[in-house]
Amino acid sequence: MKNIIEIKDLNFGFTRQKLILKNVNLKVPKGSIYGFLGANGAGKSTTMRLIMGLFNDHSNSVKVFGGNVSSIYPEALQNIGCLIDYPAFYDHLSGYDNLKIVCVIRNLDTVKIDDVLETVGLFHARHIKMKKYSLGMKQRLAIALALISDPELLVLDEPVNGLDPKGMLEVRELLIKLNRERGVTILISSHLLLEIEKMVTHLGIISHGEIKFEGSKEDLNNLYKFQKTKFQLSDAEKYRDLLKDQYSVELKSETEILIVTNSQQEIATITTLLVKSGAKIYQIVAAGGLEEWFMEITKQN
């Protein structure tokens, strides 16, 4: 699959003595929703600024649409929608007029404005002044601004940060719709793991300037699928002691143990052993999810 963004062996810092990014390698496949995940200060925003040419890539390590960012801009910006820093809207103007100003400055056809506002769910509020918009509405207008040139690629830095659950849901559904219906490739950074897990197809996890994982969501699922299994049962401490010589077992509560497992067969073997030893098992579930896997991947630092 063609990659819209490719970063190879990127090292970057404002001084040679202190690197912010260390040997970063990253590939964003065409048509994907790529979640770029990391704690605050991990290097997400710096990477995205390099992708957008806001910081100089002297090593030519960053390519977008197959070309070095040092040579493709500003022409390539017509095909990229970007939301890294929150745009400066005019509160005394309507949502429509804010977009109209951008269209005039960028020499874009204003006929697209109504279509974009419809796409982000703001057509009904197109003539309402910005100062009356909710935070979620303002965030959707910011995404409308990124969409006004009908881009092939969206680069969004923390687009749901500060939104309430309803606002997060609206933005998430919008991004999934753009990806599925229009084929827009989306690179989205976030530290809100539970929210990002619901929309992404591919992931890159960065910690202290280093990539700790990159691949599809399925790759991550397969890597950690059987790493830990949660057993809910009677007298958990007793059965923890029974298993601890053969397995890595953690006592979570009076009725719950967490066991490192490597296969479905091993889960079956443990279950059989517990039942034969008199345990009453209430539930067996795979312990995982992006939040737990993120902690597992990044704890090595």
What's the pLDDT at 224? 64
Question: What amino acid occupies position 267?
Answer: I
Query: Which pLDDT score, from 0 to 100, does residue 300 have?
Result: 58
Q: Give residue-wise pLDDT tens across range 212-264.
A: 989 887 787 776 655 678 899 988 999 999 998 898 888 888 899 988 887 77
Domain with CATH 3.40.50.300 in the chain: 3-214
Q: What is the pLDDT of residue 1?
A: 52
| Residue ranges of the chain assigned to CATH 3.30.70 | 225-298
pLDDT at position 139 is 85
What CATH architecture applies to the domain 225-298? Answer: 2-Layer Sandwich (3.30)
Nearest to 52 by CA among 20, 21, 77: 77
Q: What is the pLDDT of residue 201?
A: 92
**What's the pLDDT at 226?**
54
Of 145, 135, 143, the closest CA to residue 178 belongs to 143
Which homologous superfamily does the CATH classification assign to the domain defined by 3-214? P-loop containing nucleotide triphosphate hydrolases (3.40.50.300)
pLDDT in tens, 166-191: 878 888 888 898 899 889 999 998 87
Task: Sort 253 into a burial class: Cβ within 10 Å, 0-12 / 13-18 / 19+.
Answer: exposed
- Please identify every stretch of the chain with a pLDDT value under 70, giving residue numbers as ranges: 1, 223-227, 287-293, 295-296, 300-301
